[in-house]
Chain A
Amino acid sequence: MRNKEKNSETSDLMRKKKFNLKEGFFLSLIRTLGFTGAVILFIILFFVAYNGIHILSWEFITQPPVDAMTKGGIFPVIVGTILLTALCMIIVVPIGVITAIFLAEYSKPGVLLKTVMMSIYTLAGVPSVVFGLFGLAVFVVAFNFGMSLLAGSLTLAVMILPYIISTSEEAIKTVPYSFKEASFACGATKWQTIRKVVLPTAMPGILTGGILGTAKVSGETAPIMFTAAAFFTPGVPRSLFEPLMALPYHIYVLATSGTHIEETRPIQYGTALTLIVLVLGMNLLGIILRSRQRKKKAW
C-alpha cells in the first residue's frame, strides 16, 4: 500500500517535469492576460478619475443641476439611482429567495425543473436593452405605470432576478446537510427547518449576492431609459409613479443629447466617477463580506 503511494508520487513528480514547459507557457499566458485585465481596469479608473476628480465636491453631490444642467450638482441623480436600486432589491430579493428555496429544497429533478433552470439561465444571457423594451411594453404601457420609479425598478428586478436566484440557490445549497438532519431530528417540519436553520445559515451568502446584484443594477442604462429615466426632473421623485434621473442615464444624456456637450464634460466625468465609486464600493463590500464568510465558516 505504502509502496504504491510512493510510486504514484514519484510518477506524479516525473509527469510534472515533463509538462513543465507547456505548463509554464500557459501559466505565463494566464498571468499576462490577468495582468492586462488589471491594467485596463486601472487605466479606465485613472482616466475617469483624472477627468472627474476636480469637479467632485460637497456641492456637486448635494446640489441639483442648474442652468440647463451645465452647472450645479447631481444630487437628484444620485438619489434617483439609490431609490431605483433600493426598490428593485426590495422587490427582487424576496422573489429570488423564494424561488431559490423552491429550486433547492422542494423541486424534484425532472423536465419541469430543467425547463425552469434553462429559462433562468437564458434570461441571464438576454441583453439588457431587451429588458428595457419588455419593461416599456409591460410595466409602462400595459400596467400603465408610465415612465416611473416603479416601472424602472420592476424592469431592473426582472433583469437581475436570475442572478439573485442563482446566488441565493448557491447559498442555500452550501448549508450542510448535517444541520438540516439535526433540525429534523429535533422534530422540526421542513418549513421550520428552512426558516430557522437553512435561511439564517445561508443569509450572509444571500445578502452578498444581493449587494453584488445591487452593484450590477445601479450601473444599468438600457433597462431604465424607456421605463424610468428622464432627461431632466426638477427634483427627486415624490412618488412611485414619477420619473427620475439616474447616474448612468445622466451621463448618457449629457454626453449625447445636450446642447452643451463639450461644456458639460467635467460634469459627465464627475457623474461617471460617482457611479464608479458607488459600484466599486458595493462590489468591494460584497467581496469583503464573502471572504469573511468563507473564513468564518467552521463547517
Chain B
Amino acid sequence: MVENKNIFEIRDFNIYYVDFKAVSNITLDIEAYRITAIIGPSGCGKSTLLRSLNRMNDLITTSRVEGKVFFKGIDIYHRDTDVIELRKRVGMVFQKPNPFPSSVYENVAYGPRIRGINKKSLLDEIVENALIRADLWKEVKDKVHESGMSLSGGQMQRLCIARSLAQEPEVLLFDEPTSALDPISTANIENLLQELQKTITIVIVTHNMQQAARISNYTAFMYLGELIEFGDTDTIFVNPHHKLTEEYITGRFG
C-alpha cells in the first residue's frame, strides 16, 4: 500500500434521515495534520457529514448511511468496526460548550477514567497535559476542582477541547465551535486550533467564512447536501471555480 496522507477518505457517501437525503453522494479526502473547513448555508448537511466521521449520527435512530468512509484505510461503517475505539481516536467538540456538571478535573479525566485509568498520578498528568494543550492550564490550574460550569464560555469550550484531547485523539471534529462565543474567545480558539494542527488533524464546520479563510488549509463548500467545491482554502476564496461557491463566499446568500 502506498503511503497515504489522507486520514479520511469519504466515498460516494449518502446520509438519510428516514427518507430525506441530508448528505448526497459525497466523495472527499481529509488530509492528515491539516485543518479542513466545511462551509455552506444552514441546513446544507455540514453537521450531518461531520457527525458521520465518528459515527455520532448513530445516536439518531432515524439516520442511515450509504457508501463508505475510510479512516486510515478502515471502513468505519463495517459491522466489525469498534465505534467506541473510533470515537476515542476521532473526538468531537460541539457548538455549545457542554462540560459535564462536575469539576474541571473530572471533566478532563472522564475519557481516561472510562478506559479504566484510575491511578491518580497518571490521571493528574493526563489532565494537566490536556489542559496545557488546550491553552487553559494557566487560567484554571488553581481551580481544577471547581465546577467546569463556573468557567466563562470561551474557557468552557477550551475545557471541552481538553476533555477530547485527554484521549489522545488523532482527529478532532469541531461543529461551529465558536458560534456561541465572543470575538476574543473566538480568536483564542482559532489560535489554539492552529497550534493543535501540528499534532492532530482537524475538521471544522463553520458558519463564519472569515474563520474558514483564516485558519483552514482546505475548504469544502456544501449546498443542499452536495459537495459543490473542494480545494485549497486560498483557491476557494480567491478563485472559486463554481458559481455557487463564489456567490456564497461573496455573501450573496447563506
Chain A residues with CB under 8 Å of chain B are 176, 178-179, 181-189, 192, 196-197, 200-201, 298-299
B64 interfacial contact with A, CB 8 Å: no
**Contacts known (A187-B87, A298-B101); A178 close to B96, Cβ less than 8 A:** yes
Q: Are A186 and B94 in contact (CB under 8 A)?
A: no
Candidate in A187, A298, A299 with the most chain B CB atoms within 10 angstroms: A187
8 A Cβ contacts from B69-104 to A: 84-88, 91-92, 94, 96, 98-102
Q: Are A182 and B94 in contact (CB under 8 A)?
A: yes
Q: Inside 8 A of A183's CB, which chain B residues have their CB?
A: 100, 110
Q: Are A187 and B98 in contact (CB under 8 A)?
A: no
CA distance A220 to B38 in the complex (A): 62
What total of A-B pairs shows CB separation below 8 Å? 64
**Contacts known (A196-B110, A196-B114, A201-B101); A185 close to B96, Cβ less than 8 A:** no
Nearest 7 pairs of A and B residues by beta carbon: A187-B88, A178-B98, A187-B87, A185-B92, A186-B111, A298-B149, A182-B98
Nearest CB to that of A297 among chain B residues?
B101
Chain B residues with CB under 8 Å of chain A are 54, 56, 59, 84-88, 91-92, 94, 96, 98-102, 110-111, 113-115, 149, 160, 163-164, 167
Q: Which of A178, A192, A196 is within 8 Å of B94, CB to CB?
A: A178
CA distance A188 to B101 in the complex (A): 17
Q: Are A184 and B56 in contact (CB under 8 A)?
A: yes
A196 to chain B, nearest CB (A): 7
Candidate in B54, B99, B110, B115 with the most chain A CB atoms within 10 angstroms: B110
Q: Which of B100, B115, B164 is within 8 Å of A179, CB to CB?
A: B100
Nearest CB to that of B85 among chain A residues?
A187
Q: Are B164 and A185 in contact (CB under 8 A)?
A: yes
Q: Are B98 and A186 in contact (CB under 8 A)?
A: no
Nearest CB to that of A200 among chain B residues?
B102
Candidate in B91, B100, B111 with the most chain A CB atoms within 10 angstroms: B100
B58 to chain A, nearest CB (A): 9
Q: Are B167 and A187 in contact (CB under 8 A)?
A: yes
**Contacts known (A179-B98, A181-B98, A298-B101); A186 close to B56, Cβ less than 8 A:** no
Nearest CB to that of B83 among chain A residues?
A187
Nearest CB to that of A108 among chain B residues?
B61
Q: Inside 8 A of B101's CB, which chain A residues have their CB?
A: 179, 201, 298-299
**Contacts known (A179-B100, A298-B149); A185 close to B54, Cβ less than 8 A:** yes
CA distance A181 to B102 in the complex (A): 16
CA distance A181 to B167 in the complex (A): 16
Please list 26 pairs of residues, one from A and one from B, whose beta carbons are closer than 8 Å in the complex, sorted by A's number.
Answer: A179-B98, A179-B100, A179-B101, A181-B59, A181-B98, A182-B98, A182-B99, A182-B100, A182-B163, A183-B100, A184-B87, A185-B54, A185-B164, A186-B88, A186-B163, A186-B167, A187-B86, A187-B111, A187-B114, A188-B111, A192-B114, A197-B100, A200-B102, A201-B101, A299-B101, A299-B149
Q: Inside 8 A of B96's CB, which chain A residues have their CB?
A: 178
Q: Are A181 and B56 in contact (CB under 8 A)?
A: yes
Q: Inside 8 A of B94's CB, which chain A residues have their CB?
A: 178, 181-182, 185
Nearest CB to that of A193 among chain B residues?
B114
Nearest CB to that of A195 among chain B residues?
B114
Q: Are B56 and A189 in contact (CB under 8 A)?
A: no
Q: Which of A186, A189, A197, A201 is within 8 Å of B91, CB to CB?
A: A186
Q: Inside 8 A of A188's CB, which chain B residues have their CB?
A: 84, 110-111, 114
CA distance A176 to B94 in the complex (A): 14
Q: Inside 8 A of A181's CB, which chain B residues have their CB?
A: 56, 59, 94, 98
A185 to chain B, nearest CB (A): 4
Q: Inside 8 A of B86's CB, which chain A residues have their CB?
A: 187
Candidate in A185, A192, A299 with the most chain B CB atoms within 10 angstroms: A185
Nearest CB to that of B97 among chain A residues?
A178
Q: Inside 8 A of B163's CB, which chain A residues have their CB?
A: 182, 186
B153 to chain A, nearest CB (A): 12
Q: Inside 8 A of A186's CB, which chain B residues have their CB?
A: 87-88, 91, 110-111, 114, 163-164, 167
